[in-house]
Structure 1
Amino acid sequence: MTQLFTPKTEIQNRINRFQELMEEKGGDLAIIRHSADLYYFTGTVQDGHLIIPVKGDPCFYVWRSSRRAEEESPLNNIKRIKNFTHLIELVKKDGFAEAQEVWTTFDVIPHSLFSFYSKKLFSNANFSDCTHYIRTVRAIKSPWEIEQIRMACRVIDAAMSEIPALLTPGIDELEFAACIEAILRKNGHQGFLRMRVAQGNALSMSQILTGANGAISSFTLTPAGGPGVSPSFGMGSGHRIIGPGEPVSVDLGGCFNGYLGDETRIFSIGALPDTLERGLDTMIELMERLEAELCPGVVAGVLYQISIDFMKSSPFFENFMGCDEKVQFIGHGLGIEIDEYPFISRDNQMILKPGMVLALEPKLVLPGLGLVGVEDTFVVTEDGFERLTETQRKVTSQGIGKGHAVYEAHQ
């Protein structure tokens, strides 16, 4: 696959929007270290410290690899640093050291690095958290970014189309997940999903949960997490053998050029029990209800409340978005990370705007039975929305296909 680079105009527009916020809110400069933010503002994830002043060009001080940073990033000022002492020298030489109001990302920066910034690099400055401002800028996607996400969704749909041939009686979750992930990787997936709040800031590209495993909660802020292969990373697929008549939840995070899409579908070997079939139908009906309200100008928390009101008239309300450990959201933003703005969550007053990309994921957790639900990726447009994931939502529940999942393909 041809290596892809972020266009210079993209990087410049992002920096300009961030500098406008910095000027409005009174920041002198921001220093950025988090890999997803570095990729957004530089076009590379090479190891360094990015300084964006309120006016003028940014400077990227790179530990390694400065050569790759120069090849991959369109920024004009990229300088190699040997160590922290060298960084201090260059920051002084470039006229940044006397900044009074310095921004950085308190949510992801280690205390030891913050201590260096505040005591050694900008010892006379007041520090403020700019996490919200960066995430606000990143929430509005350009046409170029939307095209990357569209391609990520195509990667998912391509994998979903091959699942009927992969889901065979006797296969276990982990082997099944590996088969799906091999397809994703062959189609150019980077192999992990960036998630800002995740331990280690990354998750697996698939979450395959079957039968009762679908109702196992984990450390992740998700309706269900699964057991994983051991307590060392207790989430995702385990070694459970997949049997007939049970839900096989396939939650895939697609990726193209660093940008993510998200989709969940329920498969089965043979027909699902009536309770699970009705539960899945309810989630699809709720998704259609949310689509009817999805447009620019709607408040994110209103979509969440619509979901709660809808589910209160359903027999599945107690199982909605978790059972004993519920999550208080129905969707999330997508971009370079899988948990970007806007969060479709309780009391969130953020207003949806054209260019925002989000995943809606109504799901039910039924102890002893599993997880059913759907998830799709959408982009908010000037007059409504566009659905970017295209796989048919409904699993056909007719008989058992020999060696195949029962599945109704996208038409």
Structure 2
Amino acid sequence: MINTELESDLQLKWSRIQHAMQQNNFEGCLLTVDVNLYYTTGKVFSGYIYFPASGNPLFFIKRPNGVDGNNIYYIRKPEQIPDILSTLGIKKPEKLLLEGDELPYNEYMRLLKILAPQETGNATTLIRSLRAIKTPWEISQFRQAARAHEDTYRQIPSCFHSGMTDLELQIEIEKRMRQNGSFGLFRAFGSNMDIFMGSILAGENAETPSAFDFALGGAGIHPSVPLGANGTLLKEGTAIMVDMAGNYTAYMTDMTRVYSVGTLPDLAYKAHQVALDIQNEIMNYAKPGVPCSEVYGLAAKMAENEHLAPYFMGTKQQAKFVGHGVGIQINELPVFTPRSKEILEPNMVFALEPKFVIPGVGAVGIENTFLVTDDTIEKITRFEENIIQLH
């Protein structure tokens, strides 16, 4: 089951999960959501991984056939799990963790009936908190993704030609992404988070609010997907914010850059510089032990001091965060909001995205992916940060 390259990484993750289970007196943890299966096995399959509080995990697989390894049991339905546990001399857990925030109601209730624990806990909360602290192997995957992400952004000027729309530009960028190794799949946590391979916002569309919980909105191409590019013509004086996914490994980097058709009004350049100043100030301030709410407060205060608060993180609808964790999903912990309870810890990886929307012009600002080290934060994504003029 376990690829030799990932073995030590997975052993570390298993140890962390079981330590957390023991701390909270849980006897079992059953995972079946694809991102959690990948996190704990290095694969996505149809089935379950079961963690006892100690000892090796068990793999209950429905599909695909032919998976080799230890502790693998093929099943047709989860009702077979108790009999397998009994045959192995393992009692059904009295305290069980299930993915309460991710499982469909019927699946959750079915598993409760099958395993009949006396008490249940939310595996989603536990696993997401553990996933916030990245392992050395995961950090290497972020670095690999960042290099490919940067390569794609370098090619964006060659994607542009006069008279095209934001959608036409996005299509050309997506082609380069796939050529550079993008998986083409953008995973996000939560409902109402469907998206393409990323987002492009140009001109007035950057002001359009969205029902989706992203930093900025955009009308999108259809009411069923109200986010991002909408066919805006890329004319002189238009700012183009490119926020395409860094999904070149399973661990995504997040990076935004701004391009322009011709020159922009002075206010746009001022706001962009303030965004860079916010980033630089946070790089000097953020380190392990710093509350995420303070990071947000610092960014908001700097925007206010520069008289740019009405444009900060939107206009008609302003996002109330300035950063978020990244990983297998684009929106992991921690989250940088005014009321965040999270504290920066070593080996967290997060995206910082101070942005401004200038009415009639478009969005400006910056987004990079950072690693929290033992005493500071390190910028993982490295590419030109000034507004890049397209010709």
- Shorter-chain TM range is over 0.9
**Contact 2:354-2:365 within 8 A present in 1 as well:** yes
1:215 to 196, 200, 207: 207
**1:93 matches 2:87:** yes
Q: For each residue in 1:167-196, what CA deviation from the matched residue of structure 2 results, as whole angstroms up to 9, or x when unmatched?
A: 221111122111111111112211022111
User: Which one of 57, 66, 78 corresponds to residue 72 of structure 2?
Assistant: 78
- The answer on 1:182 being equivalent to 2:181 is no
Q: Deviations over 1:125-162 (max 9, x none)?
A: 31111222211211111221111111111111101101
- Aligned partner of 1:17 in structure 2 is 16
* C-alpha RMSD over aligned residues: 1.8
Q: Give secondary structure in 2 for the equivalent of 1:208.
A: strand
Given that 2:215 and 2:321 are in contact with CA atoms closer than 8 Å, whether structure 1 keeps it comes out as no
2:100 is paired with a residue whose SS is coil
Counterpart contact for 2:85–2:92, Cα < 8 Å:
no
Percent identity of equivalent pairs:
30
Aligned pairs (5 A) from 1:325-340: 325-340=317-332
TM-score w.r.t. the length of structure 1 is 0.90
Contact 2:82–2:92 under 8 Å retained in 1? no
State the match for 1:44 in structure 2.
43
Query: What does 1:376-391 align with in structure 2 at a 5 Å threshold?
Result: 376-391=368-383
Structure 2-normalised TM-score?
Answer: 0.94
Listed one character per residue, the Cα deviations across residues 354-400 of structure 1 (whole Å, up to 9, x for unaligned) are 11111000011234332111100111111212211111110256xxx
* Equivalent residues, number: 389
What is the alpha-carbon distance in structure 2 between the residues aligned to residue 296 and residue 204 of structure 1?
Answer: 34
SS of residue in 2 equivalent to 1:7: helix
Distance (Å, rounded) in 2 between the aligned partners of 1:97 and 1:47: 24
SS state at 1:260 partner: coil
Amino acid at match of 1:331: G
Pick which of 88-97 and 15-24 moved more: 88-97
- TM-superposed deviation, 1:76: 2.4
User: Which residue of 305, 323, 344 corresponds with 1:313?
Assistant: 305
Match of 1:61 in 2: 60
- Which of 83, 102, 107 lines up with 1:113 in the alignment? 107
In 2: Cα distance, 1:95 partner to 1:194 partner: 38
| Contact 2:208–2:316 (Cα < 8 Å) also in 1 | no
What is the Cα deviation at residue 163 of structure 1?
1.0
The 3-state SS of whatever aligns with 2:155 is: helix
Instruction: Specify the SS of the correspondent of 1:134.
Output: helix
Gaps of 5+ in 2: none
One-letter code aligned to 2:372:
V
Go from structure 1 to structure 2 and tell me whether the alpha carbon gap of 1:295 and 1:35 turns closer, same or farther (over 3 Å shift). same
Judged with a 3 Å threshold, the aligned counterparts in structure 2 of structure 1 residues 93 and 287 are, in CA distance, closer, same or farther, namely same
- Quick one: which of 110, 126, 131 aligns to 1:138? 131
Shift of 1:96: 4.9
In structure 1, what is the Cα distance between the partners aligned to 2:285 and 2:8? 34
Structure 1 distance, partners of 2:383, 2:303, is 24
Q: Which residue of 2 aligns with 1:149?
A: 142
> Is 1:288 the counterpart of 2:280 in the alignment?
yes
Q: Name the counterpart of 1:400.
A: none
1:29 is aligned to: 28
Q: Distance in 1 between matches of 2:388 and 2:222?
A: 33
Structure 1 CA distance, aligned partners of 2:339 and 2:105?
A: 31
Distance 2:341 2:198 in 1: 31
